[in-house]
């Protein structure tokens, strides 16, 4: 008996050693990919350990990888994770998203990890299921709505932000989490625009339960992409850490929020109310099978549009103010442009504000430069349906997962030149003073091609109006001693928020002086 066990043990060891010799830099049974620079890993497990080690700063880990291998396309193999080929080459990105977009879909791994939170909603859908959602939603993103309705809502919510938060913080010389305020602003604005619900997050102390659960659910969803055994891990975590809310508890909270939104609307419709927003369009629409949408489908629509409308813009605004606080030269130049274009009367006049904002070159340049450094979707993935050859000659096989990395791309000197890491909005302005747009392949902050962000003009308008309003009225200063970094998630939130001190620009005393007397 003992000798049988010994034979089995020796055989197993010999097999593992042999496999380790063959697969000495990659996951077991993974083939090498000729012609693609490869990040070498450990025998048998490939890059899995290093991925786990650097998970919480994955975007910088990838940036270091691309810089070290000195190439715009690379691959790595990791045990349990399908083969991924990553690129930051603008020509390849353009090819994947535009020229040959039909070959690249949201893959099965993406789909299953996202399913719990996003269901069959637009971010997780392919083919006809995606098409009907895109078409239905497109109808509300028109100039008339932008000019007449959206700007009004943004101004109203900014007024609440001013009265309930920033003016109070100024007066009471408190510190406030700017990131949290931006999330409340975009949540209130989008829930009202899209679904006709007044959530009043800006008037609520602390985090709204829906928002807290939604953030955690998104973080867990991202972690599923780098954890091949996530179903087991999530179950084990909830067993051993019962005091921590589990993924299913977070999902319950977001689920009931989304279902309440549609239920409320059904009651309103029965009472004879007429609505013409995103929700009403989807309630009247037919899905890809020709049926009216059921409650599950409507739940997915609501949640997909909340992530689209709330998170991305709140994050972009937060990173914008972080950059402004770190670059006083840019802030000064932006304030000059704002004061040149926008009078105090314009601030409350939607039509005038909308028209004037469109012509503010430097404000746009600041926003684009922020999205180059901090793209709200920092990393993205698709799945190749068929073999393909990218413009740089990379051979893609049917079934490969491909990645493009806007965070890495924006900071790459090979893509943006030697000053890539500098925050310099001037790069977006031509010598004639016109706004310069780079190709979508070079700057895919809003994606590109048929699946380009549907809300890019809405987001830009919302962000610019908020920037104008806030920069004109307040001077923000970073609370010292805090770490500002990103949270690894599907989008790019700030991991610990961003604490700021606030002064009104129209006051002739500085609150910061007195603040420091109390907090030396």
Footprint on this chain of ligand HEM (rule: CB under 6 A): 122-123, 134, 137, 305, 308-309, 312-313, 316, 371, 376-377, 380, 445-447, 451, 453-455, 458-459
Residue 502: strand, helix, or coil: strand
Helix (H) or strand (E) holding 132, with range, is: helix 127-138
Q: How far is the CB of 503 from ligand HEM (least distance, A)?
A: 27
DSSP one-letter code for 221: H
Separation between Cα atoms, residue 465 and residue 151, nearest integer Å: 8
Question: How many Å apart are CA 150 and CA 293, to the nearest integer?
Answer: 26
Asked if 316 contacts 322 with a C-beta cutoff of 8 angstroms, the reply is no
Bridge partners (DSSP) of residue 384 are 104
CB of 134 to ligand HEM, least distance (A): 5
Say whether 248 sits in a helix, a strand or coil: helix
CB of 380 to ligand HEM, least distance (A): 5
Using alpha carbons, list the distances in angstroms from residue 271 to 15, 266, 268.
72, 9, 5
Q: How far is the CB of 251 from ligand HEM (least distance, A)?
A: 21
Closer Cβ to ligand HEM, 48 or 445, answer by number: 445
Nearest CB to ligand HEM, comparing residues 107 and 309: 309
Tell me: is residue 170 an annotated ligand-binding position. Answer: no
* 316 or 363: CB nearest ligand HEM: 316
Nearest residue (CB) to ligand HEM, 23 versus 367: 367
CB of 280 to ligand HEM, least distance (A): 15
Phi, psi values for residue 297, rounded to 5°? -65, -40
- In the complex with ligand HEM, the residue whose CB is nearer, 46 or 119, is 119
Strand order in the sheet with 81-87: 37-39, 73-78, 81-87, 401-404, 380-384, 104-105
Smallest distance from the beta carbon of 110 to ligand HEM, in angstroms? 9
Nearer Cβ to ligand HEM, position 155 or 501? 155
Write down how long the chain is: 520
Measured CA to CA, the distance from residue 201 to residue 230 in angstroms comes to: 32
| Strand order, beta sheet including 175-177 | 175-177, 499-504, 474-478
Residues placed in the known binding site for heme:
453
Residues placed in the known binding site:
453
């Amino acid at each position: 008996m003992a000798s049988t066990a010994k034979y089995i043990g020796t055989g197993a060891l010999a097999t593992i050693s042999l496999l380790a010799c063959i697969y000495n830099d990659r996951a077991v049974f993974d083939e090498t990919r000729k012609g693609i620079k490869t990040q070498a890993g450990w025998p048998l497990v490939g890059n899995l350990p290093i991925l786990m080690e650097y998970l919480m700063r994955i975007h910088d880990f990838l940036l270091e990888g691309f810089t070290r291998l000195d190439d715009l396309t690379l691959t790595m193999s990791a045990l349990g994770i399908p083969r991924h080929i990553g690129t930051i080459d603008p020509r390849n990105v353009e090819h994947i998203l535009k020229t040959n977009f039909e070959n690249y879909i949201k893959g099965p791994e993406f789909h299953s990890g996202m399913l719990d939170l996003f269901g069959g909603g637009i971010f997780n859908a392919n083919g006809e299921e995606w098409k009907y959602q895109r078409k239905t939603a497109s109808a509300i993103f028109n100039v008339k709505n932008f000019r007449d309705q959206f700007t009004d809502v943004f101004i109203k919510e900014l007024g609440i932000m001013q009265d309930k938060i920033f003016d109070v913080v100024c007066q009471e010389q408190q510190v406030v989490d700017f990131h949290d305020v931006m999330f409340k602003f975009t949540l209130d604005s989008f829930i009202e625009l899209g679904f006709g619900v007044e959530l009043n997050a800006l008037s609520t102390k602390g985090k709204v339960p829906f928002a807290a659960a939604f953030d955690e659910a998104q973080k867990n969803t991202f972690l599923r992409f780098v954890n091949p055994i996530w179903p087991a891990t999530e179950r084990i975590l909830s067993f051993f850490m019962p005091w921590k809310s589990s993924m299913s508890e977070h999902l319950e909270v977001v689920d009931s929020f989304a279902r309440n939104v549609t239920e409320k609307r059904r009651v309103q419709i029965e009472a004879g109310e007429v609505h013409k927003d995103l929700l009403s369009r989807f309630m009247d629409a037919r899905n890809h099978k020709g049926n009216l949408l059921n409650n599950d489908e409507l739940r997915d629509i609501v949640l997909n549009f909340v992530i689209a409308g709330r998170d991305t813009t709140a994050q972009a605004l937060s990173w914008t103010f972080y950059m402004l606080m770190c670059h006083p030269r840019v802030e000064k130049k932006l304030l000059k442009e704002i004061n040149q274009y926008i009078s105090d009367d314009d601030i409350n006049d939607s039509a005038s504000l909308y028209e004037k904002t469109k012509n503010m070159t430097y404000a746009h340049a600041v926003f684009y430069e922020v999205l180059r450094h901090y793209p709200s979707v920092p990393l993205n993935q698709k799945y190749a349906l068929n073999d393909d050859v990218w413009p740089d000659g990379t051979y893609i096989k049917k079934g490969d997962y491909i990645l493009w990395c806007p965070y890495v791309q924006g900071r790459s000197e090979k893509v943006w030149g030697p000053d890539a890491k500098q925050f310099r909005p001037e790069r977006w302005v031509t010598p004639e003073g016109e706004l310069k747009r780079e190709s979508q392949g070079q700057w895919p902050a809003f994606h590109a091609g048929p699946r380009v962000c549907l809300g890019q003009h809405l987001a830009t308008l919302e962000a610019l109006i908020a920037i104008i309003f806030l920069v004109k009225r307040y001077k923000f200063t970073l609370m010292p001693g805090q770490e500002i970094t990103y949270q690894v998630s599907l989008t790019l939130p700030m991991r610990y928020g961003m604490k700021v001190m606030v002064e009104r620009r129209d006051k002739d005393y500085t609150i910061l002086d007195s603040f420091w007397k109390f907090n030396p």
